[in-house]
């Protein structure tokens, strides 16, 4: 950490800050520049709150040298983390495709779609039983009944289940049925939920918040890991920008960047990112080409009857085309 002092800071003030930093376990080295005096801190500064330092009126700014995440950092864990789910491995160069409806709507709907995506080569089944919806008047999911249907689909197709856990109240019931706990974008900084997920050993699919920086995203993974659960799978799903022709802006740069900074696997959700079925296949190709460890894709056999997110759901044959394209890209890199 580097502390930049304002010009003309009295030496006594500088000494005071120096001593305080030393009392927090850091060594301090002073560099007198042309206008600004700089204090360089040596030691583990991850627990020092820059805001506290910045509260001093003589401090111009505080620059961080270390990244604030540790367990999620590749610096301290150079090898790729591989999360195992049944016979599938996520991370380390494998490409996993998770597919299914946005929400579980009925037995007939879920079983139909599960069979279709299985036939086209999907590895796991997605489907929401508890749905976070912007409007209280929208369909909120089937709840535990939906979970039971997911279990049934798993029994028939053999595909592991990925479903969202929205709050502490229903955590245990979701954990009982699912293979991967999905934490949605809106809950990426629901710290109570992150801690709870960290206390079990189940794989957690953590989606990037709509306006979360990559640093905050990795800090949320750190929350889970710091409670003892190393099985975190990251998911880029689009960030909020000024563009309105797409629902969100899929940030594919995040994939190679996170691969540099972290050892955790990262998959991509092009369905939520764009909100538009016609863009899902091209962006799936791009996601695999950029190095993602997998995809999570919404598929519906009757999108215009879907109770949520119909506009972004692929029809079966289009999903088949996507699987084919993705395999070709995957083979070529």
Cα–Cα distances in Å, from 25 out to 15, 45, 279?
16, 9, 52
| DSSP conformational letter for 58 | T
Cα–Cα distances in Å, from 143 out to 68, 177, 181, 223, 267?
37, 12, 15, 27, 26
Q: Which is nearer to its own copies, 61 or 145 (CB)?
A: 61
Tokens 């997920």 correspond to 197
Q: Which is nearer to its own copies, 27 or 201 (CB)?
A: 27
Binding-site member from 32, 84, 106, 201 for its own copies (CB under 8 A): 32
Q: Which of residues 69-108 bind its own copies (CB under 8 A)?
A: 75
Q: Which is nearer to its own copies, 132 or 320 (CB)?
A: 132
CB 73 to its own copies: min, Å: 10
CA distance 139 to 178: 21
Candidates 64-72, 105-113, 119-127, 149-157: pick the segment binding its own copies (CB under 8 A): 64-72
By the 10 Å C-beta count (0-12 exposed, 13-18 middle, 19+ buried), 6 is classed as middle
Whether 229 contacts 255, CB under 8 Å: no
Work out whether 158 is an interface residue with its own copies (CB under 8 A): no
Q: Which of residues 259-318 bind its own copies (CB under 8 A)?
A: 260-261, 273-279, 282-283, 285-291, 300, 303-313
What is the CB neighbour count within 10 angstroms for residue 86? 12
CA distance 71 to 248: 29
Work out whether 255 is an interface residue with its own copies (CB under 8 A): yes
Q: Which of residues 209-248 bind its own copies (CB under 8 A)?
A: 210-211, 213-216, 219, 222-223, 226-227, 239-246
Work out whether 12 is an interface residue with its own copies (CB under 8 A): no
Number of residues that bind its own copies (CB under 8 A): 116
Binding-site member from 192, 199, 228, 317 for its own copies (CB under 8 A): 192
Best CA proximity match to 96, nearest among 126, 74, 71: 126
Q: Which is nearer to its own copies, 85 or 218 (CB)?
A: 218
Q: Which is nearer to its own copies, 85 or 287 (CB)?
A: 287
């Amino acid at each position: 950490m580097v502390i930049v002092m304002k010009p003309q800071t009295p030496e006594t003030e500088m000494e005071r800050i120096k001593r305080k930093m030393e009392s927090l376990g850091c060594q301090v080295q002073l560099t007198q520049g042309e206008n600004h005096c700089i204090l360089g801190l040596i030691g583990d500064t991850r627990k020092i709150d820059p805001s506290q330092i910045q509260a001093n009126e003589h401090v111009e700014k505080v620059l961080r040298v270390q990244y604030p995440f540790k367990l999620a950092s590749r610096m301290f864990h150079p090898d790729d983390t591989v999360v195992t789910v049944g016979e599938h491995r996520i991370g380390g160069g494998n490409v996993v495709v998770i597919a299914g409806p946005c929400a579980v709507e009925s037995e007939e709907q879920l079983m139909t779609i599960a069979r279709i995506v299985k036939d086209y080569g999907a590895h796991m089944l997605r489907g929401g039983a508890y749905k976070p919806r912007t409007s209280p008047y929208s369909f909120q999911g089937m709840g535990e009944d939906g979970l039971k249907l997911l279990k049934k689909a798993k029994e028939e197709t053999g595909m592991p289940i990925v479903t969202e856990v929205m709050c502490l109240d229903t955590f245990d019931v979701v954990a009982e049925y699912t293979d991967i706990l999905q934490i949605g974008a809106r809950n990426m900084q629901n710290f109570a939920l992150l801690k709870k997920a960290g206390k079990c050993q189940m794989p957690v699919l953590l989606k990037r918040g709509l306006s979360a920086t990559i640093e905050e995203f990795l800090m949320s993974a750190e929350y889970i890991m710091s409670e003892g659960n190393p099985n975190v799978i990251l998911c880029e799903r689009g960030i909020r920008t000024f563009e309105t022709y797409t629902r969100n802006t899929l940030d594919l740069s995040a994939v190679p960047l996170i691969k540099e900074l972290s050892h955790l696997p990262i998959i991509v959700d092009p369905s939520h990112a764009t909100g538009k079925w016609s863009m899902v296949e091209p962006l799936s190709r791009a996601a695999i080409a950029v190095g993602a460890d997998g995809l999570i894709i919404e598929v519906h056999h009757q999108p215009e009857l879907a109770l949520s997110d119909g506009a972004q759901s692929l029809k079966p044959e289009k999903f088949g085309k996507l699987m084919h394209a993705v395999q070709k890209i995957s083979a070529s890199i």
